[in-house]
Every structure is written in C-alpha cells, then in structure tokens.
Structure 1
C-alpha cells in the first residue's frame, strides 16, 4: 500500500473514531442508568485516545488529519447519539455492536494490507485499537444479555 493510500485509510479511521467519541459522549449524557452512562463515558475516552494516536500517525507520515472529519464527525456523532438514545437502551446497544464490528473489520483489513510493508508502530497502534473495539462490542453484548435476564 502506498503512502497516499495509507494516509487516506488513516484519515478514514480518524473521522470514524471522532464520530465515535461524540456518539458515546452523547449516549452517556442521555442514558439514565448511571453504570451504563459511565461506561459510555469511558468508551468515549478510549475512542479519543484512538483519535489522538491516529492523528499522530498521520502527522508522522507527513500528512494532516482531515479537516472534514474535524467538522462533520462530531456533528454526526452527537446527532446520531441523541436519536439512538430515544430508541431505547436495547436498540442503542445493538447499533453500537454493529458500529464496533464495522470498525473491527476495517481495522483487520488495514492491518492485513500493511503488515510487513509498513512501520511496525502503525500496525501495533491499529492492533491496539482493534482490541479496544472488540472489548467495547463484547461489553455491549454482555449488557444486552443482562437486560434480557
């Protein structure tokens, strides 16, 4: 994968993760359950770490994090978070699982495409983000199971 394509992909993740920060922040403030609200807050914090790490990678590769992501992703994240909050906690968790699964698949695809052809530091950061996304999806799934009990 050439440098321009890698920067494009990293900027996609940058925008996606920015969206996730605002999505989970919005869900945290609109959820009445204190434990779930705190969990969304923590997940938003972790997603912000992803944003920061990806931005650093983009800069180290000589690129700039997309301004479009900076402007649009937060608006979309907040709006979708509020709308999903109205649909009930069960639907909210199901949608969050789908979003996390999408992120996981995209991370896996990029890791596969660049492993051995790119700086190991970039691969390790992507793998770390993938692990976090997997943990988020598992937590959401466990909450769904608890709600059904």
Structure 2
C-alpha cells in the first residue's frame, strides 16, 4: 500500500469533442513494484473519457455504424487481394485491383475506426459520475517527460465513491 500525495482531479470538456476528460494527478513518494510493473516515484496522471448520457448514446450508435462500414471496406480489400493472387487475371486488372485495395485501406484508416474503439458499447464498461455524466472504466496512466506525455500503463476503475 502506498500513501499517494497531492491528489487532485478535473473534468475538462472540449467544444469540438463529444467526450470530456477526467484527469487525476497524484504523487507517489516512492517507487512501487507489483509483479513486473514499476511505478517510479514522482507525479503521474490518469486519464479517463467522460460523456453525458446523450453523447454516449450517440457515440455508441456512431461506433456501430463505423464498425459496419469498416467490415465492408475490409471485405472489399480482401476481394481485391484475391484478384491480385489470381493467375488468370491480366496485368491491367491486377493494377486496378491493387489500386482499389489501397483505396479500401485508406478509407479504413480515415474512417475513425481506431478512435471509435475507445467508445464503450456496454454499461459494464462505464461508471456513473452523477445523474448526467458517465466515465469509462478504461483509461491510461502517464507521466510528463520533458514536456511530453509518456504513457506508462493502462488504468481500470471498478468503482467510484461519491459524497
């Protein structure tokens, strides 16, 4: 057990984002080791995404839509790659298939899929902060290193104690 010092937290909302950020900060007065993980002495931060009930519902719908679109793009890509491997296809057809496969991958990369994976689909992946705010149980732990955030691990919150 470690007595963390100088704890604090803040919820930050951005007008350009459907979610906010619950950022908490603590100072560990000593190095802590558990299994193969080490938390160095010093200040560290935990970051979890926060939504209102309405924005989380909307984002869940968006994630499901994106997943469906991505599944189609990857299916198309695989079909184009099959044509590339088909010995009966002529060179012009193979060039077109390669271009279409590359476009499918570009569409995938710009789809927002990777970012959408941070949207919790199920209620057991979130906790209620209050009547309007929901926080993700998954987050990251990081420290600042020469002015840059450096990820040092993942965090999981199992419960919240409120006043």
TM bucket normalised to smaller: 0.3 to 0.5
The higher radius of gyration belongs to 2
Give the structure-1-normalised TM-score.
0.37
Name the one with the larger strand percent: 2
Name the one with the larger helix percent: 1
Give the structure-2-normalised TM-score.
0.34
Give the structure, 1 or 2, with the largest relative contact order (CA under 8 Å, sep 6 or more). Answer: 1
